[in-house]
Amino acid sequence: MNELGRRALGPLSLILLVSTFWLGYFVTPPDQVQGDLARLLYIHPAVAWVALYVSFGTAAIASAMYLWPRTRSESLDRIAHSAMEVSVFFIAITLITGSIWGRPTWGVWWAWDARLTSSAIFGVFGLGYLALRRANEDREIRARRSAVFCILTAINVPIIHFSVIWWKTLHQGASVFTSNRTLKVHGSMAFTLLLSFVAFTLTFFWFLRTRYRIEVAKDRQGHQKLVASIEQRRNEVPAT
């Protein structure tokens, strides 16, 4: 992506997010069964898509590439760290919007449902990953352990995905496609739903780029402090 594209990523993401909210809440019709409550369809599935597949998928791929000696680099470690932070943010939004949707439909804010529980566990794993990165000051050891932990966390993703099939749960099945892969929504609702996926996916890349730049700046600042400390130490040593 060139510099113009990187600069346009943030404004474009905001425009698409605003368009999604406007279409979802003022243009599309209410659902025949859930009424206006179904407008969360334009937020919750897209946010979950980013949390589980786009953001965490980026972290897992970057972690796997870091563990492979031929592709190992500090940049991949930074990408994995940044993507995992964004994933934790989006999984939190997923759980919040899911609870808001569940309260009027299930009668409770939270239930120990298979998908809800596995999603919450995924969020705990994400927080554990971030805590692990603070547990060791050695950059290489920290990056290697974090990469292994991230890949192990990926085991939970298919459990979340197939939980509504493997177990009898309160959570509804697929919201977009039927079992034979035909669309459940049509017209303006389908367009708005597609727009929401594009908007939140671009927002992820915007967040990822911003978080990556912060990580680079922190590393550069730490290196400058180290150089300054060494130089100060040299100046304190008396000449012989």
**At 170, is the pLDDT very low, low, confident or very high (cuts 50, 70, 90)?**
low
**Distance in angstroms (rounded) separating the CA atoms of residues 70 and 140:** 15
Return the pLDDT at 167. 64
Contact 28, 192 (CB under 8 A): yes
CATH tag, 12-236: 1.20.120
Residue 225: pLDDT over 80? no
d(CA 218, CA 139): 13
Q: How many CB atoms lie within 10 A of CB 230?
A: 10
Domain range annotation of the chain = 12-236
Average pLDDT over residues 135-154: 90
- Window from 55-59, 60-64, 136-140, 173-177 with minimum mean pLDDT: 173-177
- Tokens linked to 225: 């402090």
Task: Give the residue-averaged pLDDT of 132-137.
Answer: 84
239 pLDDT higher than 70: no
Q: Would you say residue 146 has pLDDT above 90?
A: yes
Report, in angstroms and rounded to the nearest whole number, the Rg of the chain calculated over CA atoms.
Answer: 22
Is the CA virtual torsion 85, 91, 97, 103 positive or negative? negative
Q: Which pLDDT score, from 0 to 100, does residue 217 have?
A: 84
Query: Is residue 57 pLDDT above 90, yes or no?
Result: yes
Calpha distance 133→34 (Å, rounded):
43
Q: Provide mean pLDDT across the span 155-177.
A: 71
Residue 140 φ/ψ, nearest 5 degrees: -70, -45
pLDDT, mean of residues 28-47: 82
